[in-house]
Amino acid sequence: MSQARTNARKAAVQALYQWQMTGHNLSEIERQFHEENRLKDAQKSYFAELFYGVPENLDTIDRALSEFIDRPVDKIDPVERAILRIGVYELLRRLDMPYRVILNESINLAKCFGADGSHKYVNGILDKIAQKTRPVEIRK
């Protein structure tokens, strides 16, 4: 997996976190990220896909999450929520990407941005969603 795509995910986590916390306009947040040069080493097209794709598919993503979490989606730690939403988006919409890559990237994002042990929580939930949404790929 390319470092530029990994950096796009990192920036998307931060941008989605900001959106979740402030409710600001998506294009305004994206403009700030460009102005502050926070996308310098990121694949900008993939950042945009994630950053706009998660809110566009929020109902579907949160419905998928709700099946496997022990509390309402809005009660999940906001950093973990952003990471989980990106992971679910990729599991549902990026069938070209192996589920193991998505899980590994999500675990690494949780280790980078989340609280101690949050990577285990993220892994557990995304693994269950992968089992449900990609059973054929997982059986291989």
Q: Per-10-residue mean pLDDT for the chain, 140 residues long?
A: 92 98 96 95 97 98 96 96 98 96 98 96 97 90
Cα(124)–Cα(128) distance, rounded to whole angstroms? 6
**What total number of domains does the chain contain?**
1
CB 29 within 8 A of CB 50: no
Cα(13)–Cα(29) distance, rounded to whole angstroms? 12
Domain extent, residue 92, equals: 3-139
Q: What pLDDT shows up at residue 84?
A: 98
Domain harbouring 41, CATH code: 1.10.940.10
CB 133 within 8 A of CB 64: yes
Q: How far is CA 21 from the centre of its chain?
A: 16
Cα(134)–Cα(140) distance, rounded to whole angstroms? 11
* pTM: predicted TM-score of the whole model, two decimal places: 0.96
CB 8 within 8 A of CB 43: yes
CB 135 within 8 A of CB 99: no
Q: What pLDDT shows up at residue 69?
A: 95
